Chains A and B, each alone.
Chain A
Amino acid sequence: MKQFFAFTKKELAESVVTYKLHILLAVFLIFGMMSPLFAKLTPELFKTLETSGIVIQMPEPTAMDSWAQFFKNVGQTGMLVLAISFSGIMASELSKGTLIILLAKGLNRHVVILSKFFASTILWTVSYLACLGICYAYTAYFWNDYTIHNAAIAFVAPWVFGELLLSIVIFGGTLFGNIYGSLLTCLSIVVALNVIGIIPNTAKFNPVTLSGGTLPLLGGVGEVSDFVPAMMVCAMMIIALLVGAVLVFKKKEV
C-alpha cells in the first residue's frame, strides 16, 4: 500500500508538471460553461436573422437542451480529449525507460498499473465534477424552475465510460509501449463497440450507450434498470483490461 500511494503521488505530481491537470480542467470547464450557454443562445442568434427578413421558428430553449448539449460535448469531444491526454500514461514511461530504476528497486509491477489507473481516475473525476458543477449552476441560473430525474445514474454513466477509456489506454499503452498503440487500441475498441451497437437489442449491454445515452433518463423517460446491464458490462471490461494490463506488464521487458 505504501508503494501504491507513493507512486500515485508521483503520478499526480507529474500531471501538474506536464500540464495534464491544467488541460483537463480547462477543457472540461469550457464544456461546463458552454453547454447551457449554447442552448440558451442558439435561438437568440436565429432571432437576429429575423431583422434581415428570414424567419426561423425555434422553440423556446429548455433546461433539457442544456443537458443535451452537456451530454453531447462530454460524450464526444470530452471523451476524445480524455483518451488523448492519457494516451501517454504508460507509453511515455516505457519508451523513456524511467521505470527501470524503480522496478529494479523492488516496485511491484501491478502497483504501477493500478496506481496509474487510480491517479488518472482522480484527475478524470475532478474534471468531470467541475464540468458537471458549472453546467448545473449555469442551467439553474438560466432556467429557474426545472426538474431532472434519475440524476445519479444519468450523470454517473458518462463517468463510467470515461473510466473504461482510461483502462483501455493503459492496456494499449502497456501492450504496445507507445502513444500510437495506445490510441489505436482505444480507437479500435470504441469503433468495435459502435459496430456491435448496430445489432438490434445489444444497446442495452453496450458500454457506448453510457456516453450520452442517459439523456432521456434526466427527462424522466425510460427506466434506470435499462442502463444497469451496460454498466455491469463496462465494469467487467474495466476489470478485464486492468488485469490484462498487469499480466502483459509482468511479462514485458522494460
Chain B
Amino acid sequence: MPENISQFIPFLVPIIVIQFGLMVAAIIHILHHNKYRFGNRALWLVISIFIGIIGPVLYFTIGKGDE
C-alpha cells in the first residue's frame, strides 16, 4: 500500500468498526431469535451481510419480531 494511503488508516478504522459492529449486532440478533415479522433467518442474514448500511437498519426496524 502506498505511503499516502496508509496515513489515512487511523481514519478508516472507526468507520469499519462501526459498520462491522452494526452487521455483527444484526447477525447475533438474527441467530438468537427465530421470530421475524416476515421472511426467514436465511433471508435476513443475507440482507444484513450484503446490503451495507441499510441491511442491518432494515432488520432492526422492519425485520425483527416483537418480543
Q: Which residues of A line the B interface, CB within 8 A?
A: 18-20, 23, 26-27, 29-30, 33-34, 37, 40-41, 44-45, 47-48, 77, 80-81, 84-85, 87-88, 92, 96, 138, 179
Contact = CB atoms under 8 A, between A and B. Distances in A.
Contact of B60 (A23, A40, A45, A96): A23
A47 B5 CA distance: 10
B18 A30 contact: yes
B66 A96 contact: yes
A81 B5 contact: no
Nearest to B11: A37
A63 B44 CA distance: 38
A12 B5 CA distance: 41
Query: Chain A interface secondary structure, helix, strand, loop or mixed?
Result: helix
A81 B11 contact: no
Given A40-B8, A44-B5, A45-B5, A84 B53 contact: no
B57 A44 contact: no
Contacts, number: 65
A179 B60 CA distance: 13
Interface of B: 2, 4-5, 8, 11-12, 14-15, 18-19, 21-22, 25, 53-54, 56-58, 60-62, 66
B61 A87 contact: yes
Query: Chain B interface secondary structure, helix, strand, loop or mixed?
Result: helix
Nearest to B22: A26
Contacts of B19: 30
